[in-house]
Amino acid sequence: MFDVIVIGLGAAGLFSLSVLDRGLNVLAIEKNEVAGRKLKITGGGRCNLTKIYDIKSFPNYYTHPSFVRPILNAYSNEKLMDYFVSGGLQLTEEDGKVFPKSEKAQSVIDFFMDKIEHNGHKMNFSEKVLDIEPHPDKLVVLTDKGRHLTRNVIIATGGKAYTPVGSDTSLIEDLFDIERFSSGLSPIYIESTAFRDLSGVSIRVQLKFSDKRILAPMLFAGKYLTGPAIFDASNYLERGDVFRIDFVPEFDEDKLRNLLLSEIVENPKKLVKTIVQSALDLPERFITVLFNELSIRDVKAGDMKKVDLYNLIFHLKNWEFKVRSKFSIDKAYGTVGGVNVAMIDNRTMALKSNESVYVVGEALEPLGQSGGFNLQFAFSSANCSVNNIHNKYKQ
């Protein structure tokens, strides 16, 4: 009989095995032939491990912020970085994002594998878990190769997104009632055709919907929008939802109005288009499309009607888009949906209905924005489950 079976050797499973006490009898079961297939391609192969923000601000970057808060507080970005550095994995930082110094995700997988080898934990590859049967004193883990008995199980089977690496949610779908899955960290197809010709144009924008404000670069890509701002927004938006884009987030409306009015008064012979482009430093192709859409293409500053100026300012700060769809989940980078957080005790990561069964990582509902938030949650939630198992053995 095992003390712990960890199902899935992705980010959360590898972390769990690396910190599970070597005195425990531990087995990991992974359906792929190797560990960490998704982890290996994270951050474009560089592996963005976490973010250098105050941990108190982290929950704002996830769906289900109140569920993730105690988990992240208990095992913060600083603790995670300490764990890597003291274990010999050098780190580097770029724009607040933390990567291994090697800039190779494989070095993170190697770091975990060394720890696991040192701990002496057993790993079965190319074996898929099909079911978990609870019994009063044990759990029976049924796989396509046989059955294993254990006292505790950590389900670290990940989300549904990005199937080229073998993502598979069949186990959690069989065990739990999962409301829905949808794509997160995904480009967004929009209803409007106005900006279709702007492929390749990138602008730092602020996306606005409900109480969310997302400030980051966005890229036009024909029928869809993409880039960090759109990826992050896709975690919250669904088909039919409306969001607004502020193309000049560094100016509030008053500042923008005063700036444009004074430029217009000073340069009555210039085209308004030229004035706006140089004053706001926006890409020429974008300005051309915007002015065509607002039917003020060739208006000179001296002829600009006040109502047209106000209309322009409003649209620069509030252009409305409607979500037509997102990338399908097999191509998206993140999973919206998963095991319902109401079923989980977020002090332990165990099911409220069975404290021997833990669920961690992207198999759960919370999804973080881009920038290292999802790996941090995978590691923090895994650490929380392992702490609770260790506490059981101390008693």
Ligand X SMILES: Cc1cc2nc3c(=O)[nH]c(=O)nc-3n(C[C@H](O)[C@H](O)[C@H](O)COP(=O)(O)OP(=O)(O)OC[C@H]3O[C@@H](n4cnc5c(N)ncnc54)[C@H](O)[C@@H]3O)c2cc1C
By CB under 6 A, name the binding residues for ligand X.
7-13, 29-32, 37-39, 41-43, 47-48, 128-129, 156-158, 161-162, 166-168, 171, 333, 361-363, 372-375, 378
Q: Please, what is the minimum distance in Å from the beta carbon of residue 165 to ligand X?
A: 7
Q: Please, what is the minimum distance in Å from the beta carbon of residue 377 to ligand X?
A: 7
Q: Distance from first CA to last CA of the chain, Å, rounded?
A: 19
Specify the residue, 32 or 77, whose C-beta has the smaller distance to ligand X.
32
Q: Please, what is the minimum distance in Å from the beta carbon of residue 238 to ligand X?
A: 20
380 secondary structure, DSSP code: H
Q: Look at the block and give the residue holding tokens 């607040």.
A: 96
Q: What whole-number distance in Å separates Cα of residue 322 and Cα of residue 320?
A: 7
Question: Within 13 Å, how many C-alpha atoms sit on residue 312's CB side?
Answer: 26
Amino acid at 86: S
* Residue nearest to ligand X according to CB distances in the complex: 10
Q: Please, what is the minimum distance in Å from the beta carbon of residue 324 to ligand X?
A: 22
Specify the residue, 173 or 191, whose C-beta has the smaller distance to ligand X.
173
Q: Please, what is the minimum distance in Å from the beta carbon of residue 382 to ligand X?
A: 8
3-state secondary structure 151-203: EEEEECCCCCCCHHHCCCCHHHHHHCCCCCCEEECCCEEECCCCCHHHCCCEE
Burial readout 65-88 (b: 16 or more C-beta within 10 A, e: otherwise): eebbbebbebbbbeebbebbeeee
Do 375 and 38 contact (CB within 8 A), yes or no?
no
Q: Please, what is the minimum distance in Å from the beta carbon of residue 162 to ligand X?
A: 4
Specify the residue, 231 or 247, whose C-beta has the smaller distance to ligand X.
231
Look at residue 339 and give its three-state secondary structure: strand
Q: Residue 1 is encoded by which pair of tokens?
A: 């009989």
Q: What whole-number distance in Å separates Cα of residue 159 and Cα of residue 172?
A: 9
Specify the residue, 59 or 372, whose C-beta has the smaller distance to ligand X.
372
Specify the residue, 43 or 245, whose C-beta has the smaller distance to ligand X.
43
Specify the residue, 33 or 54, whose C-beta has the smaller distance to ligand X.
33
Specify the residue, 96 or 268, whose C-beta has the smaller distance to ligand X.
96
Q: Please, what is the minimum distance in Å from the beta carbon of residue 148 to ligand X?
A: 12
